[in-house]
Structures are given as structure tokens and as C-alpha cells.
Structure 1
Amino acid sequence: MEMARIGILLDNRAAARKWDFGLNVFERYVGEMLSHAGIPFQWFEEIDMSQMSSFDMIIVALADETEQTRNQLWQYAVSGGIVISYAELNAFAGKLGCEPSRIIGAGYARMGSMYEKAEALRFLSAEPWRILATTDRSTIAEYGSLVHAGTGQQSLGAALQSFKVGNGYFERWAINMASTVVMLQQGTGPVLTDGVPAPDGTGPVNDNLLKADDRIAQDWEYDRLRTETGASYFAHPYADYWRELMIGHLIRTAARLGKILPFIGFWPDGVKHVALISHDSDLNEDVHAEATLELLNECDIQSTWCMLEPGYSPYLYERLLEDGHEIGFHYNALEADGGEWNKEEFSRQLDWLKQASGIETCCSNKNHYTRFEGWSELFSWCENNGLQLDQTRGPSKKGNVGFLFGTCQPYFPIAWSNESNRMIDVVELGFLTQDLDVSSIWADSSIINPILDGVCKVGGVAHFLYHQAHIQTKEPVRRSFRKLVEEARKRDFKFWTGEQINDWYRSRRELRIESLNEHGLAVVRGREQLQAAVVWIPVIMSEDAQDDSNTDIHYGVKCKKQLVVVENEQSTMTT
């Protein structure tokens, strides 16, 4: 079997024109979504039939819809290629027997059997097509339905339409998946003002303090559930769902051509999902640190300690490192504490941490009070100061815990249009809740199980924040910590530090699947040896589908596992 070859068209002229008008090109994130999944692809910037013919599938992320573009993409499909679009290419509607419908604002896509992990997936806008009455529907297949929030089940159009074009296909989603994922993860825009509070009073984010959760893409009413104690939480990792839906569609679409689309496993062999415990030192009392170390030792866990100036006594940093914990940064831009939001203060505080703790490099940061302004200023400061992982994007109120930003997976953020929407070299890994059972003003431990179960669904990271001060002073918090550890281990979570997650995520992404050899094994290249990496090979032949050995379901498709050993830019595979 041959491996499917994917090309992504991002027309540089079309992108430059949007940037000239201050518009974002979040379509660039399509490539990031494939890289995140460990799927190889190739970018190209202008229509060129000789180049296009080398691809089995072309994702049109962004293109000028000129006559030349239309003609060459059409010819590519007629000749047997597959063209995929995410809410683009309206110029093709008429030729495919359709016309654009009205643009839909925020709503939900019900995908049925095509994606069974969620009843509905939130989108922020959609541009569906309507099939004309005179069109022969025999060459068109439709999947999923779009509905407005709170308006019942009336369909406003199909989520995906598949058109048979000559020997190939034209696949058009009504949702711009890249923009949807970006805004779920990073917010609907720069943080410039306070956010809109929850109507029920559980999320008073309008507190005269700019924070990460002041711009969110989810709805207080439609996207939260309640636990048995009445605790509200954002229940759905929508961004992770959209990623899975996209990749599953690509795998199945490749199979139509008799091609295989293999991908790098998200975690090492034997790891399904990961748990991270982080702490913010805040009051900086040694007794708080001692009590936390005692609890971590009892539970046999290494964690990430985000240190706030002036920090602990020197002996505690030595003990943290001896016990295998990570020392991270806790940037303080809280004006009430004398902090400032600027790059100079960020660098000064980080320099203090290195001198106080004796560490030469620092991997992780989490901002005090989840302070956040603008769009990507914080990420740029991390980049410039050698910090590789940020953990700031999490809830600041009891009513917005859970999957507030639609994800529990590490990811690379994208910059705003003023930086040409460049990819930022900082991994973001937000937390999901903090300090359970502190008091009635914060979330209780009833959210532990639904959050862990939600993370299990998408193979992500269950990141829980516990302040040392609360661990030392409140027995209910210590009990909630023990409950979290017990429930996580029941579900086979592996506890890692932030630095361990960052190192694995970055190293895994250096692997690239080049091809399949004559035995159907993936040929993988990488810059260094990476232990226990896995390649998953979708099973598309009926005779292979009968063999359940060494297989698992990923993206809704049965896949066969192969272990990777990468050495000296080459690879060998073992089944």
C-alpha cells in the first residue's frame, strides 16, 4: 500500500492582502493541526499543476479564487485528486450545483456516526452551501447538520458536503476548522477589557483585572454542565474534538483512493494520557513548601513548582531538584503587588528566579492570577527569554473550571495579524482547575471525575493546580489531592512534570514519516533517538481488519501499532 501525500495551499498573495487590511490568516493553523497529529504534508504557495500532481489530496487553506485557480483545482479533481476546503472556495458553488447560504454565527455541528465522542461540536461561524433544486444529488453526499444554540434541532445546512468530480472528489466543510480551533484555544480576540460574567454569578470575570479568561469562545449557558453537587464546569474539549474530526476525515478520504495516512502517536508506547500537578508559591512560606513536599512524597508524584518573587529559602530549591520536581516561573504582573505588565519586568523577575534557585535554564511559566493582556505578548516574552512552556491559560473563577479553552492538549499558539500570524515557539498547556474544596467560593472535588473522563476521551493532559498554602492549611484540599491521584491512577494516567511534557511533545514532532516500505512499515526520520515512539497505520484492507492484534481505535479508525527506533536520521520499525 502507498502512503497518501498531502499538500496544503496557502496563497501568499491572498494572505498578504488580508494582512494589509489587518485581517487574520488563521488558515495557516491547518498545517499546525496536521503537525500536531504527526501527519506529514507539504506547503505550497501558488497554483502549479506540475507540483499539485504529486499530491493525492490538496487542502486549500487560502487561495485567491481567480479563474486560473478554479480551473486548475477543478482539473486536479477531475484527474483523480481530492480537493478539501474549510469554509472557503465559494466560487465553486455554482459549478457544483449549489449556492452559498447565509453565514451562521456561533452554533453546533451534530456529526452523528461520523464523530461519536460528542453529541455536538461548538463552532463560532459557518458558511454552508444549499443544493439547488435542479441539481442531480446522486453525486453529492452530506454529513452532519448545523444548528443554532438554543433553537432546537432545525438544520441550517450540512457540516460537510462531498462532491464526486470526474475521477476525484471535492470535499467542503462549512466550518473554518483552523479559525475555530484557534479562537477556542486563544480566545475570540486580544484581551483589552474585562470579560462578560456568568449570568448565574459563578463566573465574575469582570473584576477589573485583565486575565486569560476575559475572552473566551464558549457560552456560559450552553457549554457547561453541573456535577451531582451543583458545581458548574465547561464540559467539552471542543478544540480537541475538531482536531480529531479533521484528522479522521483525512484518513477516511485517503482510504477512498486506496492510500494509507499513517501518523505519529501522541504519547510514548504504553501511555494513553498524562496528569500534571503544578503549584504556585504565592505566599512563599517555607512551611507551605514542606507540607506540599510531604504530600507529594506520600503520593509518589513529581510536580512543577511555579515560583513567585521573593520565593523560598535556598535549601528548598535544592530539595525540589533532588526529589525530581521542576522549578518553574510565576510571573507577577499584579499591580496590587507592585507588578507590571511589560517585557522588562518579565525578564527581571525571571532573572531573580534563576539567581535565587540556582537553575541555569527555566522551562515553564504560569502567570500570577492568570494575568493576561493582548494576544501573544506573553508568548513572545517567553520566547525571548528561553521559556518553552506556558501554563497561564486556565480558569480564575469557580464557575469556569474545566475545558474553558476547549483543549487539554499541549499546542503551539499562533500570533495576530500584526505579526503575519506566525507560529510561536512556545508550547501552551493550560490548567483545568485549582485548589479543590478550599471553600464555597471555589470548585469542589466533584469535578475530578468528569474532568479526568473528558481528558481520557481525547488522550490529553489533566492539569490540576494546587497552591502550597492551601495544601498546608486545609485538610479538605489535601483530601481532594489524594482523591485526584487515586482516580487518575484508576484511569491509568501517568504523572509527568511540565518540562517532561514539553520535552516529549517537541521531540515527537521532530519525527517525520517519509513513506511506507514494501512490508507496509513506516519509514521515519528524526534528528535524535526517541524511545518508545509509536506510528499508527490505519487498517483499510478487509483482510487486515480481521486481525485485532496490536491494534487500537484512533480518530474513529482501527489502526495497527508500530514502534519506532530513530537513529542517525534513519529509522527501523518493529511491529
Structure 2
Amino acid sequence: MKAVRIGVYRDRGTEKETWCRGENVFTRYIEEILSHAGITFDRLNEISQMEQQPPDVLFVTAAGEPAWEAVLRLADQGGEVMIFGGGPDLARRLGAAAGPAFGPGYAEVSGLKTPLLRFLKGVPWHLPSDSSAAEEGCLRAGSPDGKHSGTLITRFSVGAGWVTRWAIDVPTTVVHLQQGKNPVTADGHPAPDGTADLDEGILKADDGFALDWEWDRSDTETGERYFAHPYADLWRETLLRDLFNRVRVRGWTLPFIDRWPGGVSQVAMISLDSDSNLDESAETTLKLLDECGVCATWCMMEPGYHPSVYSCAVGEGHEMALHYNAFDRDGGSWGEKAFAEQLRWLKEAIGCERVVSNKNHYTRFEGWGELFRWCEKYGMESDQTRGPSKKGNIGFLFGTCHPYFPIARGDEENRFYDVLEIGFLTQDLNLDRLADTSVIVPFLQAVEQVRGVSHFLFHPIHLHREEAVRNALRTVVREAENRGFRFWTGQAINGWERSRRKQRITGVDDQRRPVMTGVPPRDSVVMVPLLRDEEPHEEPVEMRFGVPCRKWLSHQVLVERTLPFP
């Protein structure tokens, strides 16, 4: 059984030219997509690296001549090449003609419960009538029932290998859905039905969302409107399904570290924003969480609670986090100095030097990467700010329910911020001015589909004053646990995601057991996709990314010794 080697090629010269034009190379976000999927890959920055140790599968994030020559040679020699975009010259070399760009639109894909995926820009290629290239998927302009305007995937046979060309730059699409198309510098457009007044003069994360008020929202049975589809996660799934299918067609396998530890399919999270800082509200909330048997992430805003609340919460397994106040109407301000001072206050208040998580009060957010840079500088490993602030934009506003590492813009050379983002879906269900509990099941079902994190936000002050809100939290816990969700804190999610990414899978042995460098995290699972003609026998087999996989627990994998015995 051959375990494939994955390479990601970045032409540094092309990247620098792009940055000099003030543009981005968000295509390199394929690295985050692969890392989050638990797939081991090699970064290739030079043509010589590609030629001396050619990967079996190559993703191209940026290339120019003569890099394209080397890429096509790799395909000719039997490699699988995956590209997003590519100019008219490359199209002609592959026997196609580049069409005009258009967007937004919706792509028809197969194999998903959500067959139409929103994209923001498509660049289709057109084939002559006598072409032997294969085409898959359909692009529709403007709306889900818009004009057929191109093909999503085109596969070209090149010598002994293949080039798969996507008309949608999937990594860039994921970035724009998760982080917006542009920095937040002005109010967003309000919902036409009056349910989300984003133009209230407060800069927030949701001012930069990239979904459509009409096409991307659904209604519950009680009439609550919500963004229904985790499009970014579904684009990841679509891309990875295609990758695993191509590997399987070639008679290879691609082992990967599963998303969650053994026995966990998806995770739920409750976070709490202290806001009014009433001690009685904290006591009510502690009792409620104890009743429900779950731990939460408490986001604390100055002046906070009495010290006894913190010791009690920590003793019961809860996480203490920062609720950075940049909302001037509540006495806060946007800036590094205010962020650092509030973090310093929190550490002194709780008597702990390590604080892992942050969520901004009122989801205040400006620019693109300022908040993430502050988090990096002051040791904050995770953020939870990216979520809805209004009743009418709850749900998958940023297209994702997965923890992810955000990417910088071109002025920072599109580096990855070392901050794990864990967005939330909604807040304070059953509060009179917000949504009711009819959204809970649709949210959980959608998260379950992509095995993500179902993150619900509550305020202790509302839990203290409103029995309806307390009942909403009880319903969240009951419905989530009935569907097999495990409740984790933000700190636990951050620790797990970071630990699983430290491992590399180097192959499979003659027993088809995965071989790794470094000791895998406890309870982690490595999946080895079955070959196309392979029978599962008696081993546990589960479906991932559309292919059946043999499941290996962490104590079953073979760990390579990277150093000799002393």
C-alpha cells in the first residue's frame, strides 16, 4: 500500500510580485485546510525541491514561468496536480480557453447534504467540443437558480498524470467567508427585513460578512431567520473529498489524524460574557451549569466579579478568559494599550498568569489582523470574537463552525496568525429581543454534518434574571448531549487542536498501520483510507471525506524513533 506524499508549492517570486501590487495570495490557505484535516504535507518553495523529491500530489498556490513548466513535468511523470485559477496562457497549454471572471454565485456539488455552495468569484475555463478533459460540477451566477455559467472542476490528462483545475479558488473562498473580503472600516449593510441593524455606528466582526441576506438564510418553524449553511466548512469538505477520491483512484492511500479524539464526533461549547458583573448572576450561572453537568468558558470584563467567584469556577473545571472591552459606550477603547491593560487586570483578578482565550465585548472589531497580533504578542492562544451581534444574522454568519487559524493580508506576507479562532452561533436564546430555541436543533444538525463546534454564548446577567434564558441553556445541553456532542471549554479545544497538529504521518507499514514521528496525543485516532478494491475485514471502518477508512487508535500506531538510542 502506497501512502502518498503531499506537496504545497509556493513560488516566492510570484508571491512577492503580488504583494508589491497590494494584493493577497490567499490560495496558500490550502496549508491551513490540510493541517486542520490532519494531513501531513511538505512546503516546497523552490523548483529544485519539487524536482529532486517529487510529491505524488502537488497543490500549487502561486506560480509563474518557469515554475509552470516544472509543475506540468511533474504531472507528465505521473503526479497529481491541483490548481486553483491559472491564467489564459496555462489554459491554452492545457487545451482550454479562460472565460471571464464573475461572482458571486453558487456551485452545484455532489455528495453533500447541502448541494449548492456560495462562492464570491469564479473563473471558468471552456473546452473545445473535441476535448477529452473531464468536467464536474456546475457554477450558477448570482443566485442558486442563476444561469449556468461554467464548470467547477476540469481534469486534464497530462502524460502519465493529471491536472485538476478548480474554477473556484477554494482556499481564498474559505478565507473570504471566514474573515471577510476586506478589513472592517465601516458599518455593514443591514438586513432588508429589519432583523439586523448592522449600520448602528459600531464597528464589529459582522460588519464584514460575505453572505447574502436573501439566499443564505432559512426560517425555523417559529419564523426565526438564520444563516443556515457552514459554507466554508463545506468547501473544505468538497475539496478534501476530491483529494481523497483522486488518491483512491490512483491506488494509493492518504492517512490522516482524525478531527477529534476517539469517542468524540463533534463538540459543543458554552461561553459566558460577564458584562454587568453582578456577583449574584455568577452564582446563579454556576448553579445552573452544575445542574446541567457542563463546564463553560467565562469571558471576564473589568471590573469583574468577587474573587470567590473565580476560585469557585476554576475549582469546578470552568475556564477564565478575557472579555476585551473596546466599546466606548461602555467605557472601553480599541487599541493595543487597552487590550494589554485589561489582560493585566484579569490576570491579577484571577491570580493566574496564563489566560488562553478572549472574546471581544459586543464583538467589537476593526481592520483585519490587529486583534490577532495583540493576542499573539500577549500570549492569548485563542479568540472567540467572530460571531453575530444581532437577532437576524445568527447561525453560520462566517461560514464555519470549525476552529481555525486566520491568515494575514499581503502587508504581512499572508502569514498565519498563531491564534485559534472559535466563532459562536448565537447568544442568549429566549431573551425577548433575540432568537428563540427553535434554532437549536438546526444548528446542531448542521454542526454535526461537518463535525465541528457548536458554540452558544450566554450572559450570566440574563441567565440570572430570565427563567426562559435558563431553560434555553438547559435545552442546548439536553439536545446536544442527545446527539452525541461533548461539551468542552475553549481552552480544551485550543489544546487539542494544537497538540494534534504537531504530529507527522510518514507512511504505513506492511500491516497497513500508520507510521508517525512524535508521540500522538492521547486518545487520538489515525484514519487510513481503504484502497478501492480493499475489503474492510473485521477492523472498525468509518466514512471520512466520502471514503471508508480503517481506524487506528493512538496506542496502535507505529512511532518512528527520530534519534538513535544513546
TM-score range, shorter chain: over 0.9
How far does residue 337 in structure 1 lie from its aligned partner after superposition? 1.9
**Does 2:47 correspond to 1:47?**
yes
Aligned partners of 1:74, 1:422: CA distance in 2, in Å? 27
Aligned pairs for 1:409-558 (under 5 A) are 409-439=402-432, 441-526=433-518, 528=519, 530-545=521-536, 547=537, 549-558=539-548
Instruction: Report the equivalent of 2:564.
Output: none
**Does 2:264 correspond to 1:271?**
yes
Cα contact 1:275–1:494 (8 A) shared by 2: yes
Aligned partners of 1:240, 1:292: CA distance in 2, in Å? 32
Normalised by the length of structure 2, the TM-score is 0.97
Aligned partners of 2:93, 2:210: CA distance in 1, in Å? 34
Cα contact 1:433–1:465 (8 A) shared by 2: yes
> Amino acid of the residue matched to residue 475 of structure 2?
K
Cα contact 2:285–2:460 (8 A) shared by 1: yes
Normalised by the length of structure 1, the TM-score is 0.95
How far does residue 347 in structure 1 lie from its aligned partner after superposition? 0.3
Instruction: Note the alpha carbon deviations across 1:35-62, whole angstroms, 9 max, x for none.
Output: 1111111111232376365211111111
How far does residue 97 in structure 1 lie from its aligned partner after superposition? 2.1
Instruction: Report the equivalent of 2:3.
Output: 3
> Amino acid of the residue matched to residue 207 of structure 1?
E
Cα contact 1:524–1:564 (8 A) shared by 2: no
How far does residue 105 in structure 1 lie from its aligned partner after superposition? 1.1
Secondary structure (helix, strand or coil) at the match of 1:143 reads: strand
Instruction: Note the alpha carbon deviations across 1:454-510, whole angstroms, 9 max, x for none.
Output: 000000000000100010100110111111111001101001111011000100111
Instruction: Report the equivalent of 1:165.
Output: 158
> Amino acid of the residue matched to residue 385 of structure 2?
T
Cα contact 2:106–2:144 (8 A) shared by 1: no
Cα contact 1:225–1:235 (8 A) shared by 2: yes
Instruction: Report the equivalent of 2:125.
Output: 129
Instruction: Note the alpha carbon deviations across 1:496-526, whole angstroms, 9 max, x for none.
Output: 1110110001001111111111111111122
Aligned partners of 2:512, 2:351: CA distance in 1, in Å? 50
Q: Which runs of 5+ in 1 are unaligned?
A: none
> Amino acid of the residue matched to residue 181 of structure 2?
T
Distance of aligned partners of 1:49 and 1:300 in 2 relative to their CA distance in 1, 3 Å threshold: closer
Aligned partners of 2:556, 2:27: CA distance in 1, in Å? 32
How far does residue 96 in structure 1 lie from its aligned partner after superposition? 2.3
Cα contact 1:223–1:235 (8 A) shared by 2: yes
Distance of aligned partners of 1:386 and 1:567 in 2 relative to their CA distance in 1, 3 Å threshold: farther
**Does 2:285 correspond to 1:292?**
yes
How far does residue 89 in structure 1 lie from its aligned partner after superposition? 4.8
Instruction: Report the equivalent of 1:562.
Output: 552
How far does residue 405 in structure 1 lie from its aligned partner after superposition? 0.5
* Worse-superposed segment, 43-52 or 509-518: 43-52
Distance of aligned partners of 1:91 and 1:268 in 2 relative to their CA distance in 1, 3 Å threshold: same
Aligned partners of 2:50, 2:353: CA distance in 1, in Å? 50
Distance of aligned partners of 1:49 and 1:428 in 2 relative to their CA distance in 1, 3 Å threshold: closer
Distance of aligned partners of 1:302 and 1:272 in 2 relative to their CA distance in 1, 3 Å threshold: same
**Does 2:95 correspond to 1:104?**
no
**Does 2:331 correspond to 1:333?**
no
Instruction: Note the alpha carbon deviations across 1:399-442, whole angstroms, 9 max, x for none.
Output: 01001100001000011111111111000001100000100x21
Instruction: Note the alpha carbon deviations across 1:534-573, whole angstroms, 9 max, x for none.
Output: 111111242325x4741111111111111123999748xx
Aligned partners of 1:13, 1:450: CA distance in 2, in Å? 46
Give the alignment partner of residue 373 of structure 1, picking from 363, 366, 370: 366
Instruction: Report the equivalent of 1:118.
Output: 114
Cα contact 2:503–2:520 (8 A) shared by 1: no
Instruction: Note the alpha carbon deviations across 1:72-122, whole angstroms, 9 max, x for none.
Output: 32222222112110122542211222101111111111013xx32312011
Instruction: Note the alpha carbon deviations across 1:278-322, whole angstroms, 9 max, x for none.
Output: 000000010000000010010011100000000001111110111
How far does residue 330 in structure 1 lie from its aligned partner after superposition? 0.3
**Does 2:63 correspond to 1:63?**
yes
Aligned pairs for 1:299-378 (under 5 A) are 299-378=292-371
Cα contact 1:389–1:429 (8 A) shared by 2: yes
Secondary structure (helix, strand or coil) at the match of 1:399 reads: helix
Cα contact 1:49–1:76 (8 A) shared by 2: no
Aligned partners of 2:312, 2:321: CA distance in 1, in Å? 14
How far does residue 149 in structure 1 lie from its aligned partner after superposition? 2.9
Distance of aligned partners of 1:400 and 1:535 in 2 relative to their CA distance in 1, 3 Å threshold: same
Instruction: Report the equivalent of 1:210.
Output: 203
Q: Which runs of 5+ in 2 are unaligned?
A: 562-566
Cα contact 1:530–1:565 (8 A) shared by 2: no
Cα contact 1:53–1:76 (8 A) shared by 2: no
> Amino acid of the residue matched to residue 221 of structure 2?
E
Instruction: Report the equivalent of 1:94.
Output: 92
Secondary structure (helix, strand or coil) at the match of 2:288 reads: helix
* Worse-superposed segment, 81-90 or 487-496: 81-90
Aligned partners of 2:181, 2:50: CA distance in 1, in Å? 39
> Amino acid of the residue matched to residue 533 of structure 1?
S
Secondary structure (helix, strand or coil) at the match of 1:245 reads: helix
Distance of aligned partners of 1:567 and 1:380 in 2 relative to their CA distance in 1, 3 Å threshold: farther
Instruction: Report the equivalent of 2:83.
Output: 85
Aligned partners of 2:317, 2:402: CA distance in 1, in Å? 23
